[in-house]
Amino acid sequence: MTYTSTGSPGSIGGATRSYMGSDDGMKTLATLLLLLIPSLVLAEDPLPSWNEGPAKQSIIDFVEKVTDKNSDSYVPIYDRVAVFDNDGTLWCEAPLPMQVYYVLAELKIKVAQDPTLAEKPMVKAALAGDFEKLLQGTHYDGLVEIIGLTHAGMTTTEYDAAVKAWVKTFRHPRFDRTLAGMTYQPMQELLRYLRANDFQTFIVSGGGADFMRVFAYRIYGIPTNQIVGTNTLTKFELVDGKPVLMKTMEHMFVDDKAGKPVGIHQFIGRRPIAAFGNSDGDQQMLEYTTIDNPYPSFGLLVHHTDAKRAYAYDSHPPSSGKLVTALEAAPKYGWTVVSMKDDWKTIFFGSE
Amino acid sequence: MTYTSTGSPGSIGGATRSYMGSDDGMKTLATLLLLLIPSLVLAEDPLPSWNEGPAKQSIIDFVEKVTDKNSDSYVPIYDRVAVFDNDGTLWCEAPLPMQVYYVLAELKIKVAQDPTLAEKPMVKAALAGDFEKLLQGTHYDGLVEIIGLTHAGMTTTEYDAAVKAWVKTFRHPRFDRTLAGMTYQPMQELLRYLRANDFQTFIVSGGGADFMRVFAYRIYGIPTNQIVGTNTLTKFELVDGKPVLMKTMEHMFVDDKAGKPVGIHQFIGRRPIAAFGNSDGDQQMLEYTTIDNPYPSFGLLVHHTDAKRAYAYDSHPPSSGKLVTALEAAPKYGWTVVSMKDDWKTIFFGSE
Q: Kindly state whether B16 is in contact with chain A, defined as any CB-CB distance less than 8 angstroms.
A: yes
**Residue A177 backbone zone (phi > 0: left; psi -120 to 50: alpha; other: beta):** beta
Query: Averaged over B11-35, what is the pLDDT?
Result: 49
Instruction: Report the distance separating Cα B43 and Cα A275, nearest Å.
Output: 43
- A-chain CB neighbours of B283 within 8 Å are none
User: Are B209 and A27 in contact (CB < 8 Å)?
Assistant: no
Q: Is the pLDDT of residue A5 over 60?
A: no
Q: What angle in degrees, to the nearest 10, is found between the helix axes of B54-67 and B185-196?
A: 20
User: Residue A249 has what pLDDT?
Assistant: 97
Q: Which of A197, A194, A229, A236 is nearest to A215 (CA)?
A: A229
Residue type, B72: D
Which one of A33, A156, A243 has the shortest CB-CB distance to B30? A33
Q: What is the pLDDT of residues B256-269, one digit of tens each?
A: 999 999 999 999 99
Residue A264 makes CB contacts below 8 A (sequence gap 6+) with A83, A202, A204, A228, A271, A272, A285, A288
Q: What is the pLDDT of residues A322-343, one digit of tens each?
A: 999 999 999 999 999 999 999 9
Question: Can you give the residue ranges of every domain in chain B?
Answer: 10-42, 54-98+162-343
Where does the pLDDT of residue A321 fall: very low under 50, low under 70, confident under 90, or very high at 90 and above?
Answer: confident
Residue with the larger pLDDT of the pair B136 and A97: A97
User: Residue A340 has what pLDDT?
Assistant: 98
Q: Closest approach of chain A CAs to the CA of B268, in angstroms?
A: 4
Q: Closest approach of chain A CAs to the CA of B270, in angstroms?
A: 7
- What is chain B's alpha carbon radius of gyration, rounded to the nearest angstrom? 23
Burial status of residue A316 (CB atoms within 10 A of its CB: 0-12, 13-18, 19 or more): exposed
Q: Closest approach of chain A CAs to the CA of B245, in angstroms?
A: 7
User: Residue B7 has what pLDDT?
Assistant: 33
User: Residue A82 has what pLDDT?
Assistant: 99
Which one of A5, A20, A245 has the shortest CB-CB distance to B265? A245
Distances (CA, A) of B21 to A13, A32, A327, B26, B176: 11, 16, 53, 8, 60
Residues 138-167 of B with CB under 8 A from A: 156
Q: Is the pLDDT of residue A297 over 60?
A: yes
C-alpha torsion sign, points B236, B242, B247, B253:
positive
Interface with chain A: mutation pick from B220, B233, B265, B332, highest number of A CBs within 10 Å:
B265
Query: Averaged over A128-141, what is the pLDDT?
Result: 85
Query: Averaged over A108-124, what is the pLDDT?
Result: 95
Where does the pLDDT of residue A135 fall: very low under 50, low under 70, confident under 90, or very high at 90 and above?
Answer: confident
Query: Three-state SS across chain B?
Result: CCCCCCCCCHHHHHHHHHHCCCHHHHHHHHHHHHHHHHHHHHCCCCCCCECCCHHHHHHHHHHHHHHCCCCCCCCCHHHCEEEECCECCCECCCCCCHHHHHHHHHHHHHHHHCHHHHHCHHHHHHHCCCHHHHCCCCCCHHHHHHHHHHHCCCEHHHHHHHHHHHHHHCCCCCCCCCCHHHEEHHHHHHHHHHHHCCCEEEEEEEEEHHHHHCCHHHHHCCCHHHEEEEECCEEEEEECCEEEEEECCCCCECCCCCHHHHHHHHHCCCCCCEEEECCHHHHHHHHHHHCCCCCCCEEEEEEEECCCCCCEECCCCCCCCCCCHHHHHHHHHCCEEEEHHHHECCCECCCC
Q: Is the pLDDT of residue A34 over 70?
A: no
Burial status of residue B307 (CB atoms within 10 A of its CB: 0-12, 13-18, 19 or more): exposed
Q: Closest approach of chain B CAs to the CA of A33, in angstroms?
A: 6
Which one of B30, B225, B235 has the shortest CB-CB distance to A267? B225
Residue B217 contacts residue B223 (beta carbons within 8 Å): yes
Instruction: Report the distance separating Cα B70 and Cα B72, nearest Å.
Output: 7
Q: Is the pLDDT of residue B286 over 50?
A: yes
- B-chain CB neighbours of A283 within 8 Å are none
Which residues lie across from B49 on neighbouring strands? none
Instruction: Report the distance separating Cα A54 and Cα B164, nearest Å.
Output: 41
User: Are A34 and B30 in contact (CB < 8 Å)?
Assistant: yes
Q: Kindly state whether B43 is in contact with chain A, defined as any CB-CB distance less than 8 angstroms.
A: no
Where does the pLDDT of residue A196 fall: very low under 50, low under 70, confident under 90, or very high at 90 and above?
Answer: very high
Q: Is the pLDDT of residue A56 over 60?
A: yes
Q: Which of A161, A199, A233 is nearest to A81 (CA)?
A: A199
User: Residue A43 has what pLDDT?
Assistant: 64
Residue B234 contacts residue A262 (beta carbons within 8 Å): yes
In A214-259, which ranges are E strands? Answer: 227-230, 234-239, 242-247
**pLDDT over 70 percentage in chain B:** 86
Q: Kindly state whether A78 is in contact with chain B, defined as any CB-CB distance less than 8 angstroms.
A: yes
Q: Kindly state whether B261 is in contact with chain A, defined as any CB-CB distance less than 8 angstroms.
A: yes
Where does the pLDDT of residue B23 fall: very low under 50, low under 70, confident under 90, or very high at 90 and above?
Answer: low
Residue A163 makes CB contacts below 8 A (sequence gap 6+) with A102, A211, A214, A215
| The CATH number fitting domain A54-94+184-343, selected from 3.40.50.1000, 3.30.565.10, 3.40.50.1220, 3.30.2130.10 | 3.40.50.1000
User: Residue A206 has what pLDDT?
Assistant: 95
Instruction: Report the distance separating Cα B25 and Cα B117, nearest Å.
Output: 71
Tell me the average pLDDT of chain A: 89
User: Residue A33 has what pLDDT?
Assistant: 61
User: Residue B18 has what pLDDT?
Assistant: 36
Q: Which of B63, B92, B94, B105 is nearest to B80 (CA)?
A: B63
- Which chain A residue's Cα is nearest to B38? A27
Tell me the average pLDDT of chain B: 89
Where does the pLDDT of residue A21 fall: very low under 50, low under 70, confident under 90, or very high at 90 and above?
Answer: very low
Q: Is the pLDDT of residue A121 over 70?
A: yes
Query: Averaged over B179-191, what is the pLDDT?
Result: 98
Domain B54-98+162-343 CATH assignment equals 3.40.50.1000:
yes
User: Are B266 and A242 in contact (CB < 8 Å)?
Assistant: no
Instruction: Report the distance separating Cα B193 and Cα B191, nearest Å.
Output: 6
Structure ipTM: 0.88
Where does the pLDDT of residue B29 fall: very low under 50, low under 70, confident under 90, or very high at 90 and above?
Answer: low
The answer to whether the peptide bond before residue A95 is cis (omega within 30 degrees of 0) is: yes
Residue with the larger pLDDT of the pair B43 and B112: B112
Residues 92-121 of A with CB under 8 A from B: none
User: Residue B336 has what pLDDT?
Assistant: 98
User: Residue B13 has what pLDDT?
Assistant: 33
User: Are B262 and A16 in contact (CB < 8 Å)?
Assistant: no
Q: Is the pLDDT of residue B2 over 70?
A: no
Backbone angles phi, psi at B276, to 5 degrees: -130, 125
